[in-house]
């Protein structure tokens, strides 16, 4: 394998760190996963990223320093020019800006680039997955929150650095509290964290549900997408109602965004989106129809295809093919 022909990719999330090493044709030659540290701070998280990246490069049979670079899809506020990450609320102790790119790059012996986690996952689906037949897509990643990514005219649209925050499209003025601190956001109804908060409140007030029993049976400490899916399969009324409200909120928010962007396709990803799959993608489209301006020509609806590696593959796409000087 030629020097600098390989690229590394990292999906940095609140629960897991997924790494890959890919070749010029995007074939995965090595991969690894670590749990994201739950305490400490940025240096601890960076150490876990380094371990996972080195395991992936060992599988690929190449030293980290021989990679063309490593791209990281990360949550929070990213300064691409300085390579710093700040306000990553799902990561321990990560409030202030931390020079992740330069610090990790020094350890690995290669350049490191940062991008928004949902945007790079959308880029991966556009380039390699469910969006490759289209010229413009809106990625809607339904998971702990609801994140968005935008590709217009075959190019990522980043705005001034905060484009794609679809979870914070307001679907109900003065509505439910969102984890962001505002009211009425789509994420306040559809984000898994917000849904769990509402489920706990209803349960504490005496509403019957098997959600928390299923959570305990599966050894979880939170309501995962699998727990929600199983509860609905068993006819749990609270779970069904909250998921129905999530779908309705997404119908309003995604349709409103499509009215502005007029994209070719919407790609539904994230833990909840992929778990519920095609039937719920169709339900989201049905919920969008009353709110679409061009309801005679709705965007195509697709479910993300790349699975758990999508974010890491998107990270690798941040690294251009040119050999650094």
**Residue 49 in contact with residue 42, Cβ under 8 Å?**
no
Tell me the per-residue pLDDT of 205-241, one tens digit each, with 9 for 90 and over.
Answer: 999 999 999 999 999 888 999 999 999 999 999 999 9
pLDDT of residue 236: 98
**Residue 4 in contact with residue 64, Cβ under 8 Å?**
no
pLDDT of residue 2: 52
**Residue 186 in contact with residue 171, Cβ under 8 Å?**
yes
pLDDT of residue 325: 43
Q: Residue 126: which of 224, 23, 26, 195 has the closest Cα?
A: 26
Q: Give a yes or no: residue 140 inside a domain.
A: yes
Q: Residue 28: which of 50, 11, 9 has the closest Cα?
A: 9
175, 248: one domain: yes
Q: Give a yes or no: residue 97 inside a domain.
A: yes
Domain that holds residue 237: 130-305
106, 135: one domain: no
Instruction: Please give the model's pTM, rounded to 2 decimal places.
Output: 0.89
Q: Which CATH number covers residue 298? A: 3.30.420.40
33, 73: one domain: yes
Q: How many Å apart are CA 122 and CA 269, to the nearest integer?
A: 9
301, 313: one domain: no
pLDDT of residue 4: 59
Low-confidence ranges of the chain (pLDDT < 70): 1-4, 321-325
138, 159: one domain: yes
């Amino acid at each position: 394998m030629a020097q600098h022909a390989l690229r590394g990719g990292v999906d940095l999330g609140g629960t897991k760190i997924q790494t890959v090493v890919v070749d010029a044709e995007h074939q995965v030659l090595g991969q690894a996963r670590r749990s994201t540290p739950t305490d400490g701070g940025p240096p601890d998280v960076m150490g876990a990223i380094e371990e996972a990246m080195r395991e992936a490069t060992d599988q690929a049979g190449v030293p980290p320093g021989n990679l063309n670079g490593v791209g990281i899809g990360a949550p929070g506020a990213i300064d691409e020019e300085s390579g710093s990450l700040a306000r990553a609320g799902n990561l321990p102790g990560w409030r202030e800006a931390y020079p992740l790119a330069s610090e990790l790059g020094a350890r690995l012996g290669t350049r490191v680039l940062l991008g928004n986690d949902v945007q790079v996952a959308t880029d991966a689906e556009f380039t390699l997955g469910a969006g490759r037949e289209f010229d413009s897509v809106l990625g809607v990643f339904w998971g702990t929150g609801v994140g968005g990514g935008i590709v217009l005219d075959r190019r990522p649209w980043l705005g001034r650095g905060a484009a794609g925050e679809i979870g914070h499209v307001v679907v109900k003025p003065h509505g439910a509290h969102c984890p962001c601190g505002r009211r009425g956001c789509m994420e306040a109804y559809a984000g898994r964290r917000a849904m769990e908060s509402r489920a706990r409140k209803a349960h504490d007030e005496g509403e019957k549900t098997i959600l928390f029993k299923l959570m305990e049976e599966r050894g979880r400490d939170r309501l995962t997408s699998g727990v929600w899916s199983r509860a609905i399969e068993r006819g749990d009324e609270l779970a069904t109602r909250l998921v129905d409200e999530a779908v309705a909120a997404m119908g309003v928010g995604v349709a409103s965004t499509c009215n502005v962007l007029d994209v070719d396709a919407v790609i539904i990803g994230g833990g909840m989106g992929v778990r519920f799959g095609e039937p719920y993608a169709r339900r989201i489209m049905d919920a969008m129809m009353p709110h679409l301006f061009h309801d005679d020509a709705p965007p195509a609806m697709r479910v993300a295809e790349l699975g758990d590696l999508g974010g890491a593959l998107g990270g690798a796409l941040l690294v251009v093919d040119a050999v650094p000087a």
